[in-house]
Chain A
Amino acid sequence: MNPPVITEQERAQKELAVVGKGIPKADAGVKVTGQAQYMHDLELPNMLYGKILYSDRASARIVSIDTSEAERIPGVKAVLTAYNTPEIRFGFLKDNMALKKDRVRQYRDEVAAVAATTPELAEAAIKAIVVHYEDLPAVFDPEEAMQEGAPLVHELNPKGEPNKDNRLRLPWKFSAGDVEAGEAASAFIAEGEYETGWVTHCCLGTAGCVAAFDPDDNLTMYSITQIPSLAKADFQEAMKAMGVRGKVRVVLTTLGGGFGSKLDTYAFEYIAMLLAHRTKKPVKILFDREEEFFATSPRQPTRIKIRQGCDAEGRLTFRDISMVLDNGAYTSWGATTPTVMMMPSSSLYQVENVRFRATCVYTNNTYAQAMRGYGTPQVTFAIESNLDELAEKAGIEGYEFRLKNANLPDTVTPQGFKVDSCGHVPCLEAVAERMDWAGYRAAKAARLAGDATGAGGDATLVESDTAGVPPVAQAAWTELPDKVRGIGMACLLHVGGGAKIYKSDGCGTLIKVDDLGYVDVYSGSMDMGQGLDTILRQIVAETLGLGVDRINVVIGDTDVCPWDAGAHASRSTFVAGNSALYAAQQVREQILNSAADILDTPRDGLDLTGGMVVCADDPEKTTKIEKVLRKAHFASAGNTMFMAAYFYEPPTDLLAGDFKGNYSMAYAWGCHGVEVEVDRRTGQIDIVRYIAAHDVGKAINPLLLRGQILGGGLQGIGWALAEEMIFDEGKLLNPNFRDYKMLTALDSVDVEPILVEDPAAAGPYGAKGIGEPGLVPTAPAIANAIYDAVGIRLRKLPMKPEMVLAAIMEAEGR
Chain B
Amino acid sequence: MFLPDFDYHAPETLAEACDLVRDLGPSAKVLAGGTDLLIKLKHGLVTPTAVISLKALDELKTITHVPGRGVVIGARATHNDLVNSPLLHERFLSVSEAAHKLANNQVRNRGTVGGNLVNAIPSADLPPILIALDAWITLVGSNTSRTVPLHSFFTGPSCCVIDPVDEILTEIVLPDQQTTGSTYLKFALRRSGALSVTGVAVAVTMDGDTIVDSRICLGAVFPVPVRANDAEDLLRGKTWSDELLAEAGEAASCCALPITDIRGTAEYRLDLVRVLTKRALKRAITEGHV
* B191 partner residues in chain A, CB cutoff 8 A: 744, 746-747
Whether, in the assembled complex, A597 has its beta carbon less than 8 Å from a beta carbon of chain B, the answer is: no
Contact B190 A722 (CB under 8 A): yes
Asked whether, in the complex, the Cβ of B2 is within 8 Å of the Cβ of A119, the reply is yes
Find chain A residues with CB under 8 A from B189 CB.
Answer: 722, 741, 800-801
Determine if B268 is an interface residue (Cβ-Cβ < 8 Å): yes
CA distance in complex: A805, B272 (Å): 10
Q: Is the CB of B265 within 8 A of A744?
A: no
A155 contacts partner chain B, Cβ-Cβ < 8 Å: no
Among the 9-residue stretches B58-66, B73-81, B157-165, B192-200, the one with 4 or more Cβ atoms under 8 Å from chain A is B192-200
Given A119-B2, A120-B2: A738 in contact with B268 (beta carbons within 8 A)? no
| Contact among A119, A744, A805 with B193 in the assembled complex (CB-CB below 8 Å) | A744
Question: A738, A743, A800: which has the most chain B beta carbons within 10 Å?
Answer: A738
Asked if A747 contacts B262 (CB within 8 A), the reply is: no
- Are B187 and A682 interface neighbours, CB within 8 A? yes
User: Does A733 belong to the interface (CB within 8 Å)?
Assistant: yes
Complex formed: what's the CA distance from A733 to B263 in Å? 11
Instruction: List chain B residues, Cβ under 8 A from A653.
Output: none
Minimum distance in angstroms from A808 CB to a CB of chain B: 11
Q: B256 → chain A, closest Cβ, in Å?
A: 16
In whole angstroms, how far apart are the Cα atoms of A681 and B198 in the complex? 14
Closest to A120 in B: B2
Q: Given A747-B191, A802-B264, A681 and B275 touching (CB < 8 A)?
A: yes
Contact indicator A682/B272 (Cβ below 8 Å): yes
For residue A681, which residues in chain B have a CB less than 8 angstroms away from its CB? 271, 275
- Which A residue sits closest to B268, measured CB to CB? A802
User: Known interface pairs A722-B189, A802-B265. Does A123 touch B2 (Cβ–Cβ under 8 Å)?
Assistant: yes
B104 adjacent to chain A (CB < 8 Å): yes
Q: Taking the complex as formed, is B1 at the interface, i.e. its CB lies under 8 A from any CB of chain A?
A: yes
Which of chain B's residues 258-290 have a Cβ closer than 8 Å to chain A? Answer: 262-265, 268, 271-272, 275-276
A743 to B263 alpha-carbon distance, docked (Å): 15
- Cβ A288 vs Cβ B275 within 8 A: no
Question: Quick check: is A135 within 8 A (CB to CB) of the other chain?
Answer: no
A726 an interface residue at 8 Å Cβ cutoff?
Answer: yes
A743: min CB distance to chain B, Å: 7
Contacts of A682 in B (CB 8 A): 187, 271-272, 275-276
Tell me the smallest distance from the CB of B171 to a CB of chain A, in Å.
29
Q: Which residues of A contact B264 (CB under 8 A)?
A: 802
Task: Write the B107-120 contact mask toward A (1 if CB under 8 angstroms, else 0).
Answer: 00000000000000
Is A290 close to B, CB under 8 A? yes
- Taken together as a complex, chains A and B put the C-alpha atoms of A747 and B194 apart, in Å, by 11
Assess the B192–A290 pair: CB atoms within 8 A: no
Least Cβ–Cβ distance between B219 and chain A, in angstroms: 15
Contact yes or no, B192 A288, CB < 8 A: no
Contact flag A741-B1 (CB < 8 Å), given A682-B275, A726-B262: no
Q: Which of A120, A739, A805 contacts B268 (CB under 8 A)?
A: A805
Q: Is A163 an interface residue (CB 8 A)?
A: no
Smallest CB–CB gap between A715 and chain B, Å?
A: 14
Q: Which residues of chain A are within 8 angstroms of B193 by Cβ–Cβ distance?
A: 737-738, 744
Partner of B262, one of A722, A739, A806: A739
Nearest CB in chain A: distance from B176 CB, A: 34
Q: Within residues 1 to 56 of chain B, which ones have a CB less than 8 A from any CB in chain A?
A: 1-2
Which B residue's beta carbon lies closest to that of A684?
B187
A482 to B104, CA, bound (A): 28
B194 lies within 8 A of A738 (CB): yes
- A703-745 vs B, Cβ < 8 Å mask (1 yes, 0 no): 0000000000000000000100010000001100111010111
Q: In whole angstroms, how far apart are the Cα atoms of A225 and B122 in the complex?
A: 42
User: In whole angstroms, how far apart are the Cα atoms of A267 and B275 in the complex?
Assistant: 49
- Interface contact B187-A290, CB-CB below 8 Å: no
Closest residue on chain B to residue A291 by CB atoms: B1
Contact check: which of A120, A482, A684, A745 meets B192 at CB < 8 Å?
A745
List B171-222 residues whose CB lies under 8 Å from chain A. 187, 189-195
Interface residues of A in 662-712 (CB under 8 A from B): 681-682, 684
Assembled-state Cα–Cα distance A737/B276 (Å): 26
Q: Across the interface, which residues of B come within 8 angstroms of A741, CB to CB?
A: 189-190, 194
For A733, A737, A801, the residue with the greatest tally of chain B CB atoms inside 10 Å of its CB is A801
Closest Cβ neighbor of B190 among chain A residues = A741
Chain B residues in 8 Å Cβ range of A745? 192
Rounded to whole Å, the gap between the CB of A551 and the closest CB of chain B is 38
Tell me the smallest distance from the CB of B260 to a CB of chain A, in Å: 11
Within 83-118 of B, Cβ neighbours of A (below 8 Å) are at 104
- Are B262 and A733 in contact (CB-based, < 8 A)? yes
Q: Which of B104, B262, B268, B271 has a CB less than 8 Å from the CB of A734? A: B262
Of all chain B residues, the one with the shortest Cβ separation from A745 is: B192
Q: What is the CA–CA distance of A568 and B54 in the complex, to the nearest angstrom?
A: 51
B residues less than 8 Å from A747 (CB atoms): 190-192
In the bound complex, residues from chain A placing their C-beta under 8 Å from that of B187 are: 682, 684, 801
Task: Give chain B residues whose Cβ lies under 8 Å from the Cβ of A290.
Answer: 1
Closest chain-B Cβ to A725's Cβ sits at a distance in Å of 11
Residue of B nearest to A736 (CB): B39
Q: Which of A626-664 contact B (CB under 8 A)?
A: none
CA distance A65 to B277 in the complex (A): 55
Chain A residues near B104: list those with CB within 8 A: 744
Which single residue of chain A is at the shortest CB-CB distance from B278?
Answer: A681
Question: Using an 8 Å CB-CB cutoff, how does the interface string of A4-34 with B read, 1 for contact, 0 for none?
Answer: 0000000000000000000000000000000
Residues of B within 8 A of A801 (CB): 187, 189
CA distance A32 to B195 in the complex (A): 30
Bound CA span A682–B196, Å: 13
Chain B contacts for A722, CB-based, 8 A: 189-190
A745 CB to closest chain B CB (Å) equals: 7
CA distance A421 to B1 in the complex (A): 52
Looking across the interface, which residue of chain A has its beta carbon closest to that of B276?
A682
Smallest CB-CB separation from B4: which chain A residue? A120
Chain B residues with CB under 8 Å of A738's CB are 193-195
On chain A, the residues within 8 Å of B192 by CB distance are: 744-747
Q: How far is the CA of A677 from the CA of B1 in the complex (A)?
A: 41
Contact of B190 among A120, A288, A744, A809 (CB under 8 A): A744
B190 touches A743 (CB 8 A): yes
User: What distance in Å separates the Cβ of A789 from its nearest Cβ neighbour in chain B?
Assistant: 18
In the bound complex, CA of A619 to CA of B225 (Å): 84
A295 to chain B, nearest CB (A): 14
A288–B43 CA distance with the chains assembled, in angstroms: 12
Residue of B nearest to A806 (CB): B268
- Min C-beta distance of A290 to chain B, whole Å: 7
Q: What is the minimal beta-carbon distance from A803 to any residue of chain B, in angstroms? A: 9
Q: Shortest beta-carbon distance, B235 to chain A, in Å?
A: 20
A555 to B261, CA, bound (A): 46
CA distance A278 to B104 in the complex (A): 44
A620 to chain B, nearest CB (A): 63
Given A681-B271, A682-B275, 11 more contacts at CB 8 Å? Answer: A123-B1, A123-B2, A722-B189, A733-B262, A738-B193, A738-B194, A744-B191, A746-B191, A746-B192, A805-B268, A806-B268
* A to B CB contacts below 8 Å, 13 in the list: A120-B2, A123-B1, A682-B187, A682-B276, A733-B262, A734-B262, A738-B194, A739-B195, A741-B189, A800-B189, A801-B189, A802-B268, A805-B268
| Nearest 3 CB-CB pairings of A with B | A746-B191, A681-B275, A746-B192
